A and B are shown apart, each in its own frame.
Chain A
């Protein structure tokens, strides 16, 4: 099976039913995408397909087709991604940091469509991504800082 990951074609020897999360992590060794709940509740496995945030644990590799996959390892290729990464580092968003890859991919998709998000926009775009350490105050601030950068 051929996938396009972070701008590069990749051959993946995986069961077609295997969720993209596990193809990335276990087959390809791209461990930046995280396993949290396996059921679409937490958003730790958020990646983008053609720019849309999706749950890696709920997306069989066979359903990806020719869509461009963006993972946290490829986020720096996006101008918004770099702004978000810089804001995340500068505002010291992470505590444990485990959810932050998913948070960033959700935030990048938000800013690409809504460059000046309101609090309500941020709530709507980000409430699917759990942060067990509850760094929400800083995630919100970092999105706003990236939007202003």
Chain B
């Protein structure tokens, strides 16, 4: 598995039995949901995923956190398909965060679709089966003769028809079926899945209706900002409280004491989550006044766990490690890479590096909290609502069940909102304030207190045989950790290509000390490793005098399963132990090459690059066509992406959007994103020194999904990693210059 891939996400698949649970609703109607475990559900807490009213309304609950990955649309689609209703007949309702009622609610690791696809379908199929049974009893005909469609029941022989609404109350008195006995549609029967379905919130988004956490405005709410040390663990030395209180609109100041006792049982644990920093909260009549008050405090900070951190010092330490050798030789050691290297016909070596990068979700971190006695209500954009409830409960010393969480749409997640530090701060401030409080971080705080994608260095050496094929791979990997152990988001393991495919594979490791927070960022680990691995494969192909596509095909070899990629195995029943399949990878590689017209003759200073990567159970390959101007600036003219995420695409529109967005996001990262430290703190403060992709650099991105006979898997992440190496390949073809460091220094590319 792979704690390294996406932390330890919870499972209900095998270990936790789930039953369909039926309910009668006021006014006569059917509700159907899941009950988890054998215990009777909490009264009034029925997890109603499907509600069919007597008056004909059909409501489907969306329970997953919507962070832009489209689950508020795609999950209800899975239910609607099997319920056999038209999408236009459905109203989607957002669930609050409550695992006891709705089951696992996590947006992370691209795992929602693979783990819950089957369960969502069985909800729809279960409700349909009950409606059919109700009609069969009412009409005195065999259930097997009743057909459905567009929320209608029909019995051909007798010519009888009824709307679902007419049978809803009768169905509600039936025993819910055993979900295992339900027959699901075969893919050729799908009427909704696979279509292009616009997001259910689109109209609200384009008219400015409140949807996001930052839009919450409970009655009596005040606005807050929070001054805290830019250096992790720093102590307050001085603050100008009088100046802050003199700012018009500032209502008061609240001192918050540091706490390091907040460790609790959560799904996505990382070092640092248990810390509430020391600081001063500023309460005000507007966010603007609160932020001005915070600035007027002019807090001086000293010390801190992370005070030693500096990019310059880390770079020097990495250079020393490369010169003197690794701390942990043979950290991974399959076969005998060193012997094979010694006997190789040819050796290729190169050093690669990449920086910390930040999530920079466009909706700044914020949380609204109202604490009354031993209860707390939260309005929160989060990827992990249950973790937020538990963290807040721990911080307040109350029961998690007493934390009500209004699950708001997230203005981007990318892994940042797996962490709920801002919710803990808001709750503690709100308790002291005694009124509802909306805490908002500004952009500088978002960068200063992110859970960063760690940087790293790789010294690579490959041994080639007489034909030029890679027979041995040796990596000295340097990244960050604590107490001599790599942090989970900075790890390396056997699930990462080319381990498993190249039998003689060795990775040595050096750990650089770090005390601030690292986290999961869109296709974590993979987003850096793909650049390194695929770039170096290009270099090996070049050394062998071979074409990058043909060389990769040879490297992957015959289509076969390689039992190295356990990622996702813990979560998805159907995906347990999913191996890396070289045939699926070749399939997308060939498709991307075909789409792009790989091998076309191009004008001078224009080139194509190709790369592939497997992560989050998805197989992706892409080709990038780019040109390099005389001043070194890079323009991308087209990207062709081929994807294999199994049998089904749930929502073709959302799926394509995810892939195009991932590719352009990765392009922005490759061309300019870098977080650095000085004096213990992050140096970047806003989008001026941390550029995101913009319209004028966004190329056309063609996307093809291959359907293969494998389980359906997620799409929020795996399209990201293979962009940067393909772009580096295109630049190499255009200029003969190999870029081995992210972000690309285009100054090296001047004609």
Contacts and interface: CB of A to CB of B under 8 A. Distances in A.
A41 B686 contact: yes
A11 interface: no
Interface in B267-303: 285-289, 291
B412 A98 contact: yes
Contact of B214 (A30, A35, A41): A35
Nearest to A104: B206
Nearest to B209: A32
A85 interface: yes
A2 interface: no
B85 to A, nearest CB: 21
Contacts of B209: 32
Contact of A97 (B205, B692, B700): B205
B364 A35 contact: yes
Contacts of A49: none
Interface in A70-95: 71-73, 75-76, 84-85, 88-95
A6 to B, nearest CB: 10
Interface string B199-230: 10111011111111011010000010000000
A48 interface: no
B590 interface: no
Given A92-B657, A97-B409, A134 B664 contact: yes
B657 A138 contact: yes
Interface in B392-448: 409-414, 440, 442-443
Contacts, number: 190
Interface residues of A, number: 63
Contacts of B668: 134
Given A31-B214, A90-B198, A136-B695, A96 B665 contact: no
Contact of B687 (A97, A130, A135): A130
A13 B663 CA distance: 45
Interface in A100-149: 100-101, 104, 122-124, 126-140
B654 A92 contact: yes
Contacts of B514: none
Contacts of A128: 694
Contacts of B360: 132
Given A35-B214, A129-B695, A134-B693, A99 B362 contact: yes
Contacts of B688: 39, 41
B362 A98 contact: yes
Interface stretch (B26-34, B62-70, B149-157, B474-482): B62-70
Given A34-B411, A39-B688, A85-B207, A137 B664 contact: yes
| A42, A75, A84: most-surrounded residue (chain B CB, <10 A) | A42
Contacts of A136: 664, 693-695, 698
Contact of A133 (B68, B440, B443): B68
B288 A89 contact: no
| A73, A92, A96, A131: most-surrounded residue (chain B CB, <10 A) | A96
Secondary structure call for the A interface = loop
Contacts of B217: 29, 31
Contact of B363 (A85, A98, A122): A98
B653 interface: yes
A92 B199 contact: yes
Chain B, interface size: which category? 35 or more
A134 to B, nearest CB: 4
A19 interface: yes
Contacts of A44: 362
Interface in B635-678: 653-654, 657-658, 660-665, 668
Given A26-B288, A100-B205, A123 B363 contact: no
A18 interface: yes
A127 B698 CA distance: 10
A25 B287 contact: yes
Contacts of A36: 362-364, 443
Contacts of A89: 198, 202-203, 206
B484 interface: no
Contacts of B285: 26
A15 B654 contact: no
A63 to B, nearest CB: 15
B248 interface: yes
B248 A15 contact: yes
Contacts of A72: 206-208
A1 interface: no
Contacts of B289: 15, 18
Contact of B202 (A18, A88, A96, A130): A88
A38 interface: yes
Contacts of A132: 360-362, 412, 414, 665, 692
Contacts of B692: 130, 132, 134
A123 B206 CA distance: 21
Given A36-B364, A122-B695, A139-B695, A76 B661 contact: no
Contact of B208 (A15, A41, A88, A101): A101
B68 A96 contact: yes
Given A29-B217, A36-B443, A140-B695, A135 B248 contact: no
A137 B698 contact: yes
A123 to B, nearest CB: 4
Q: Which 9 A-B pairs have the closest CB atoms?
A: A32-B208, A96-B68, A98-B411, A72-B208, A136-B698, A134-B664, A95-B68, A41-B687, A22-B288
Given A97-B211, A136-B693, 15 more contacts: A15-B288, A18-B286, A22-B286, A27-B286, A34-B363, A35-B287, A36-B364, A36-B443, A37-B443, A75-B206, A76-B207, A96-B363, A96-B410, A122-B695, A134-B663
Interface of B: 67-70, 196-199, 201-203, 205-212, 214-215, 217, 223, 248-249, 285-289, 291, 360-364, 409-414, 440, 442-443, 653-654, 657-658, 660-665, 668, 686-688, 692-696, 698, 700-701
